[in-house]
A and B are shown apart, each in its own frame.
Chain A
Amino acid sequence: DAKTTQPPSMDCAEGRAANLPCNHSTISGNEYVYWYRQIHSQGPQYIIHGLKNNETNEMASLIITEDRKSSTLILPHATLRDTAVYYCIVRLPNTGNQFYFGTGTSLTVIP
C-alpha cells in the first residue's frame, strides 16, 4: 500500500472550516483514499473515502487532486467535538481490507 504523509498537528477556530492535507505521492491507480478519526482513545471512526472524484457526506468533504498524489479532508464548520486525531489511509481494493494507519494529524478546535 502507498504511504501517506500528514502534518502532526493543526489548530482550527470553532465555526471555521478545517482543511486537513494528506500526501500520497506513490498512490497507484486503483487505491482508495480513506479518512478516519480517533477521539481520545476511542475506536477510530470512519469519515469518508474516495477514488478519483471529490466526495461529500454529512460529516465532511474529500477533495482529491487530479493527479491523485494528495487529498484534503474538509470539515466545513468545525466544532469542539471535532478535536481528534485524523488518519489518512490509502488501500488497494480486494486486499483483505488491510488498512495501515500512520500517526495522523492531531486537530485541535479552539473556542
Chain B
Amino acid sequence: NAGVTQTPKFQVLKTGQSMTLQCAQDMNHEYMSWYRQDPGMGLRLIHYSVGAGITDQGEVPNGYNVSRSTTEDFPLRLLSAAPSQTSVYFCASSYPLTGGNSPLHFGNGTRLTVT
C-alpha cells in the first residue's frame, strides 16, 4: 500500500489564482480530512468526509472547497488564493469509521506559498 499520497509537494501561487491539492489513499478508508499547519502552531482541521458524497466543515473552512466522489480521493480546492492561505496542508484518512477508535494516517504534506 502507498498509504496517503498528496500532490504536489510544493506549490507557489499568485493571489487570486485557483488550484486543487490532490489527496488519494489506497487503504479503502471511509474517513478523509484536510488540515493546515502554520509556523509554531498545531494542525487545524479544514474539512472532512465520512464517506463518498458526504463532506463537512472543520475549524477553518473559509476559502476552501472539497468534494468526495470516490472513496479513494479527496481533493481540496482553493478558488481564489490569498496570502493568508500560505501554509503546509496535510491530508489524513482512517478506517473503519464505526468502532470509534481508529487512528489517522497522514500524507507527507503540500507546502503552499501564495504571493
Which A positions have Cβ atoms within 8 angstroms of B?
Answer: 32, 34, 36, 41-46, 49, 51, 87, 93-94, 96-104
Q: Does B98 contact A (CB under 8 A)?
A: yes
State the interface size on chain B (CB cutoff 8 A).
34
Report the minimal beta-carbon distance from A88 to chain B, rounded to whole angstroms: 11
Cβ-neighbour of A44 out of B45, B50, B97, B106 (below 8 A) = B106
- What are the residues of chain B within 8 A of A41 when measuring CB–CB? 37, 88, 109, 111
Q: Are A51 and B101 in contact (CB under 8 A)?
A: yes
Given contacts A43-B4, A99-B45, A34 and B40 within 8 Å (CB-CB): no
Main secondary structure on A side of the interface with B: loop
Q: Are B94 and A100 in contact (CB under 8 A)?
A: no
Annotate B26-65 by CB proximity to A: 1 below 8 A, 0 otherwise. 0000010101010011111100101000001011000000
Give bound CA distance, A96 to B95, whole Å: 11
Give bound CA distance, A51 to B59, whole Å: 25
- What are the residues of chain B within 8 A of A99 when measuring CB–CB? 45, 92, 104
Give bound CA distance, A97 to B90, whole Å: 15
Q: Are A103 and B4 in contact (CB under 8 A)?
A: no
Q: Are B101 and A93 in contact (CB under 8 A)?
A: yes
Q: Are A46 and B58 in contact (CB under 8 A)?
A: no
Given contacts A43-B106, A87-B42, A100 and B59 within 8 Å (CB-CB): yes
